[in-house]
Structure 1
């Protein structure tokens, strides 16, 4: 198969050169999330409450902290 035989379209993004290069460049690396891993001490009752809300408690803690930051600006 020749390169000219490969059809490139929005329906087949895997044939897009940018898609291929991005996949090769990121292979084996951690995903880009824009978040930083930290160690944070909180009261046990606060942590229990967030965990009781179900999966994703760390994301909810981040959302609450972000909302506080935005409201304080």
Structure 2
């Protein structure tokens, strides 16, 4: 009596498909490298900044334009 040939596993059997689905679901995607942005002249960016109340009152005391005055003071302090 001859034995029928054993059928080799195919690539699409249920176990292989389940392992591939698990690997796909649990593998972190490769993240794109972080691209540093260059500051464009004259472009403003909105931020939230926590400063002391007395500092805010000082800059607001001269009326409109207080945000530009704070920006100028920060630029001077940063040496820009």
The structure with more helix, counted as a fraction of residues:
1
The structure whose Rg is larger is 2
TM-score, normalised on structure 2?
0.46
